[in-house]
Every structure is written in structure tokens, then in C-alpha cells.
Amino acid sequence: MKRGAAVTIAGSVAVAGLLALSLAAQRAPAAELSASDVVAKNVAARGGLDAWRKVGTMVWVGRVESAHAPSPSMPFALEQKRPNKTRLQIDAVGQKSLRVFDGSEGWKVLPATQGRPSVLPYTAQELESARTGHGIDGPLIDHAAKGNSVTLQSLDQLGSRKAYHLKVHLAKGGEEDVWVDTETHLELRYDRMVGDPAGGQRRISVTYADYHDVDGLKIPFLIETGGGQGTAPDRMRIDRVLLNAPLDDSVFANPAAARRRAAWPTIAPRASTSPAPSARPTAASAGTGVSAQ
């Protein structure tokens, strides 16, 4: 072989090698980003840390759709206030159920039945789940300020989407999992372990889709829990979101207390016309039920 031909062949091999490395890098973006990078892109995609810190209260109005409920579509209103107060009211066939958490204690008002009090305290398992909730922000925004740390586990395929699999290590103990879309950098799925009445643990998987822009913040307007094995997931379809509504702490007090709820603007449910990205993940296969926590 002539020397010139050998050089040409060697050069071609080198170029092919560089091309292969370039394509491999495109196929494996997880190797290009750290956990901190993924979290930073997620926070930016959702509107930025400063914008989220300015949100003191958030109200969702929409519908709960569940095959396990007395009505297939039930109006709901979820009120949230920092740091971790929630009030979820669901109307089902003229009957209202209510779940309230004041940041420390929780109560539930179920449709009246003979021999059962109208207001019940949260069970130990419900309290644990509520107290470890992430409030308005979710698990990634401001995680360091909450004492939590995040590690990057892998690059996974969720339906038609690729996602960064993050592990959130909680300051209070335990771990949670979050999947962030590699293109939109928005959350696709969130898993956590919760206690069950038998004293064991079960995994709850929640998927997020149909993100809309609300005053500069990206919020999912479709939240699915459960599904798989021939079972339809429970869905929360959000029609309207209100930021920084005037919610007094009495809104989150024990419903049995003789207190008058502070007034806040009535929100008529309506469909949002905000544009949404194409990421629409398949419902997770584990976990059941839709709740405020």
C-alpha cells in the first residue's frame, strides 16, 4: 500500500471515530448533564426560582375523573398556602368531601353516614404523607433550601419521551423519584412511598401532562395517578389556576371549629386556551387515588 493511501485511510478512520462519538453523545444526553444541571433546566423551564418564591398561595379549580368514585366527573377546588397548607374539596352527586391540612394536623369530612362523626382526624399514615409533602413547589424547586439533595440515576424511556431519572434524598429521611423530560425539561412523573392502613409501604406514581403557562409559570393541567393492568388512571383535570389569592389561615383550620372561612374570589371553571408542549406521558402503572398530598 502506498504511503499516501495509508494516510488517507487513517484520516477517514479518525473522522469516522469522531462522528461516532458525536452521535453517541446525542443519543446519551444523560452523560452530558449533572443532576444540578437537570434541576437548573427544570426550574428555568417552569418559570424560574424567583418567580416561584413569589407565589404564596395557589388555587386549582377543575374536575376529578375516577372509575372508583360515585360520579365519573366531580368538580374540585384545591387551595394551597405556604409552607404546606392544603384544603381539597370535591363535590360528588350533591355530596361534598373535604380534606384539610394546616401544616401540622389534618382532618377529613366525609359524606355523613350513620354512626360516623362528620369530621375525622387524619390517620397516622395520612399525616406522615401530608407532613412530608412538598407544598406548592414540588420536589425539585428550592430543594437545597429544604435540605434535600438530588442525584442523577439514568436516562429512561417513558412512553414516547426520554427522561432524566432523578433521585431526591429527603432531609427527613427516605427517597423519592422524579423523571424530567430531556426536551422540555418539565416533570413527567413523580414516585413516592406512602404508608398503607396495614402498616406497610406502597409506591404512588403520578404523571404530569398538558402544561400551561400561568403568569409565567408552567403548571400541568392534567395529573394522573394509578392506571395500568387494564385499570384507567384517576385524573385531575385543572380548568383554572389562581396565584396569590387572599387565603386566611382559618381556611385550613379544623372544619369542626366554629370559624368562618375567609372570602376569596370565586373562580368559574373554564377551559384554558394556553398553549401546551407535546409531552404527554403514559399513566404510571402503580398507585391509586387522587388526593391533595
- Written as one string, the DSSP assignment of 194-219 is EE-TTS-EEEEEEEEEEEEEETTEEE
φ/ψ of 98, rounded to 5, equals -140, 135
Mean pLDDT check: name the lowest of 93-97, 236-240, 287-291.
287-291
- Which tens digit of pLDDT belongs to each residue from 220-247? 999 998 765 667 789 999 999 999 999 9
**Residue 1 pLDDT exceeds 90:** no
The answer to whether the beta carbons of residues 163 and 29 sit under 8 Å apart is: no
Of 234, 183, 188, 243, give the one whose Cα is nearest residue 211: 188
The answer to whether the beta carbons of residues 280 and 66 sit under 8 Å apart is: no
177, 180, 218, 259 from 38: Cα distances, Å: 14, 8, 16, 45
How confident is residue 42, by pLDDT bands cut at 50, 70 and 90?
Answer: very high
> Residue 284: its pLDDT value, please?
30
Q: What is the mean pLDDT of residues 10-30?
A: 44
> Residue 187: its pLDDT value, please?
97
- CA angle (87 as vertex; 84, 93 as ends), nearest 5: 155
The whole-angstrom separation of Cα 259 and Cα 102 is 14
Q: What is the mean pLDDT of residues 183-206?
A: 84
> Residue 253: its pLDDT value, please?
94
Mean pLDDT check: name the lowest of 145-149, 166-170, 274-278.
274-278
Instruction: Return mean pLDDT, the chain.
Output: 78
Is CATH 3.30.470.20 correct for 34-252?
A: no
CB burial string 160-179: b at 16+ within 10 A, e below: ebbbbbbebebeeeeebbbb
Q: What is the mean pLDDT of residues 164-175?
A: 90
Specify the higher pLDDT residue, 92 or 289. 92
Per cent of the chain over pLDDT 90 is 49
Q: What is the mean pLDDT of residues 2-14?
A: 45
- CA angle (283 as vertex; 84, 148 as ends), nearest 5: 35
Q: pTM for the complete prediction? A: 0.75
The whole-angstrom separation of Cα 213 and Cα 236 is 17
Mean pLDDT check: name the lowest of 1-15, 159-173, 211-225.
1-15
> Residue 146: its pLDDT value, please?
86
CA 153 to chain CA mean position, Å: 19
Which distant-in-sequence residues (6+ apart) come within 8 Å of 57 by Cβ? 79, 80, 81, 82, 136, 243, 244, 245, 246, 247
> Residue 49: its pLDDT value, please?
95
Mean pLDDT check: name the lowest of 104-118, 136-150, 158-172, 251-265.
251-265
How confident is residue 76, by pLDDT bands cut at 50, 70 and 90?
Answer: very high
- The residue ranges of every structural domain in the chain are 1-32, 34-252
Mean pLDDT check: name the lowest of 24-38, 53-67, 137-151.
24-38
Specify the higher pLDDT residue, 109 or 78. 78
**Residue 165 pLDDT exceeds 70:** yes
Instruction: Give the largest Cα separation in the chain, rounded.
Output: 98
